[in-house]
Structure 1
Amino acid sequence: MRRNKMRFTSALALGTVLALGAAACGEGDDGGGGSDELTIAYVGVQTGDNSPELGVNISNAVKLAVDQYNATNPAKKVAFKAYDTKGDPAVAPGQVQKAIDDEVTAVVGPVFSGESKATVPSLEEAEIPNISPSATASALGKNGWKYWHRVISNDDAQGQVDAEFSIKTLGAKKIFVIDDNQEYSVGLADKFIASATALGVTPERDKIDPKATDYSSTVNKVKSAKPDVIFFGGYYNGGDKLLKQLRDGGVTAKFLSDDGALDAKLIDGAGKKQAEGALLSCACQSINPTAENPAVAKFIADYKAAFSKDQGTYSAEGYDAATVFLNAFKAGKTSPAELNEYVKTVNFQGVSKPIKFEANGEIAVKTIYMFQVVDGKLKFLGDAAKVKPE
């Protein structure tokens, strides 16, 4: 066994998980000899209520990268394993403990900010390199973690750009901010409000429960405020119902949201008419069909051929995160220490963006892109600092 499992369970707060970890240690611990299998694990949502489509977009891309690598007949093939957190910070620690007990080599994920906060300390203690393709909470980059990286800009960058876009591009004089009270959503909404206030517009604010069905109270507050722009911090699960009820309630203010809502399911849930014109920002540009990089076109085609569906939000980030680890394996870096040191030195053009990390694990590129629902489909507009919506 490559690691002493007993060492890592202390980072998990749940007593039941501690008990399971201790039991696993008691069976089959070979005293530190052991497995040299290379495994890339996906840790994140696959099922449940918390936007599983976003997670499937990522896990498919990770599997594609691994399958393509194995097809080159490397000296040592790489296994792929998926651990379903359901996007729930209460479920995620148990799934991370399973990955630790399975002695995975590297992790793509966790994918959401709440579950990252709950589980990365365990991966850190286990010395398992992990790259998140999608967790954007700014606080994650301030923990001093050594084995953690992410290939997407944080909420500080996105919240500021979204506020600037609302005021400078959309000309908003009044803004209403709504969030769904989750780790990612609250942090992004907080940054948006701080940035908007600094620019001279102080938004009003409310919260919704993404599991609720009636948002009439929030709709009435928005109607009373008469904003020019509504900013929603949250996921398409909840955002779709909110958008539908706002439009059905006669609210015509421009609707701006984030990458958590950047999915066709927002349109499906809200309705084509109600979703028309909605704007969505992301530190990703992977659904840009006009990308000039030939590698992007190949990735889009390969993904569709493998899974009979188009890649979506965070797919390219998941593919790039897996590629970082696969390139390390190709270079002979397979121990946790070697692998982690390699990650810190990467500098290559990925299918999502240039992949290069800062010392704290943050991605070096900070560009935020804007999308808009046009004729019932998501349309890539470009750099949010430069574009004009339709």
Structure 2
Amino acid sequence: MRQKLARVIGGVAMLALVAGGTACSSSSSDEASGGDACGSKIGFFGALTGSSAALGINERNGVKLAVDKYNKENADCKVELVELDSQGSPDQAPGLAQKAIDDTKILGIVGPAYSGESEAAGPLFNEAGLVTITPSATNPTLATKSWKTFFRAVGNDLSQGPAAGVYIKNVMKADRVYVIDDQSAYGQGLADEVKKVLGAAVVGSDKVQGEGKQTEFSAVVTKVKTANVKAVFYGGYYQEAGLIRKQLSAAGVTAPLVAGDGVNDGAYITSAGQAAAEGTILTCPCQPAAEARGTFTADYKALNGVDPGTYSDTAFDAANILLAGIKAGKTDRAGLLEFVKGYSGEGVAASYKFVEGGELDPAQVKVWAFKVTGGKVVPDQEIPKS
């Protein structure tokens, strides 16, 4: 029989109401799912160092808050958080995934955070039956791999890319656009979706290298300047986006830069410089972190010393789904996987129910545009889905 769930908005994690005692008791529920919850672990898999670390740290801090709250409510039966620093690199991902798989106490993973590392690690997690909930990897193809362990807590680029294109076309009314991507699974996929919406308005496109491999972009800057565009779209991450924006401005290109959630972080402003970054439009298949329900924002800042950033709230929710399963007695990997597959509930960022391929129910997906204003990334507007 399915356990009933109780959700305290912005407070304790989404905890299952387990009849007959605590999660540490040797109830029949525990025995059926492989043991007791005490000593169980969940992992966070994402960049905590390197050029893409800012978004990963946002997410890790959200997971840390969820675990901290859970452990305060379950002081006699705590869950441990294991941090798996991928540096945002697909090359690092398989070894890191195997490290998580080999630790049999790890029952679920929040992450991987990025699409490239998700592609590299996904087959291993699937083979091991280790459930993953990514708070931010948005490449649509991740849900087409027949991985039974893959779940996504946000919309994919089939929602974000078209929305970015709609914003450029209908809000900015830009009829000459240059599109650049970093050749990553995420960046190229997002750029391709934008191109589909803009059609003939795309007057040029180019590719650069991501992952900190390129810092000088004069060739593409010259092409953009020559094309006399009204907007530039970049598919990739914040470090390169900031440098491109900085070099565009230095060359006299005033057309605004538009980019996706991989750039939606204050670190982009640092990379570009405040003056150059001003007016940049950043999209995200997520709501503003300040819109998170309940006391999440205050609790996050109290624990981490900073305000929540992009995907802090979705990472918090993803962790709480895993913790709810552990609380419900799903204390082996197979049991927790089945729990997540059938999960339906409310978080601080959204309502969660997973459909085919592990995708978030499309009815729950929202895409927002943010704008760099006065040196900060601030909400601009929710973008219509079509």
TM-score, L = length of structure 2 = 0.86
Change (3 A) 1:272 1:202: closer
Whole-angstrom distance in 1 between the partners of 2:77 and 2:130: 19
The equivalent of 1:309 in structure 2 is 306
CA drift at 1:248: 1.4
The equivalent of 1:42 in structure 2 is 44
**Residues 147-187 of structure 1: CA deviation (Å, up to 9, x unaligned):** 11010111111111111111122111111001122121011
The equivalent of 2:181 in structure 1 is 179
The equivalent of 1:354 in structure 2 is 351
Amino acid at match of 1:173: D
The equivalent of 1:375 in structure 2 is 374
Q: How does 1:212-231 map to 2 (within 5 A)?
A: 212-231=214-233
CA drift at 1:34: 9.1
Whole-angstrom distance in 2 between the partners of 1:366 and 1:294: 16
Whole-angstrom distance in 2 between the partners of 1:381 and 1:358: 29
The equivalent of 2:339 in structure 1 is 342
The equivalent of 2:19 in structure 1 is none
Whole-angstrom distance in 2 between the partners of 1:72 and 1:63: 14
CA drift at 1:75: 6.0
> Contact between 1:114 and 1:184, CA under 8 Å: does it hold in 2?
yes
> Contact between 1:344 and 1:359, CA under 8 Å: does it hold in 2?
no
- Equivalent residues, number: 346
> Contact between 2:179 and 2:202, CA under 8 Å: does it hold in 1?
no
Q: How does 1:121-136 map to 2 (within 5 A)?
A: 121-136=123-138
Q: How does 1:283-302 map to 2 (within 5 A)?
A: 283-287=285-289, 289=290, 291=291, 294-295=293-294, 298-302=295-299
Amino acid at match of 1:328: G
> Contact between 2:175 and 2:201, CA under 8 Å: does it hold in 1?
yes
**Residues 7-54 of structure 1: CA deviation (Å, up to 9, x unaligned):** xxxxxxxxxxxxxxxxxxxxxxxxxx99973110111111122x1011
Change (3 A) 1:73 1:243: same
Relative contact order (C-alpha < 8 Å, sep 6+): which is higher? 2
The equivalent of 1:102 in structure 2 is 103
Whole-angstrom distance in 2 between the partners of 1:73 and 1:79: 12
The equivalent of 1:201 in structure 2 is 201
**Residues 181-205 of structure 1: CA deviation (Å, up to 9, x unaligned):** 21210111111112222xx534410
CA drift at 1:334: 2.1
The answer to which of 351-360 and 67-76 deviates more is 67-76
Q: Structure 2 residue aligned with 1:241, among 216, 240, 243?
A: 243
Whole-angstrom distance in 2 between the partners of 1:331 and 1:220: 58
RMSD across aligned positions (CA): 1.7
Gaps of 5+ in 1: 1-32
**Residues 127-150 of structure 1: CA deviation (Å, up to 9, x unaligned):** 011101111111001111111101
Amino acid at match of 1:57: N
Whole-angstrom distance in 2 between the partners of 1:55 and 1:203: 34
CA drift at 1:227: 1.2
> Contact between 1:243 and 1:275, CA under 8 Å: does it hold in 2?
yes
The equivalent of 2:270 in structure 1 is 268
CA drift at 1:336: 2.1
Which stretches of structure 1, 4 residues or longer, exceed 3 Å deviation after superposition?
Answer: 33-37
Amino acid at match of 1:204: G
Whole-angstrom distance in 2 between the partners of 1:180 and 1:58: 22
Q: Structure 2 residue aligned with 1:326, among 315, 323, 326?
A: 323
Q: Percent identity?
A: 40
> Contact between 1:155 and 1:191, CA under 8 Å: does it hold in 2?
yes
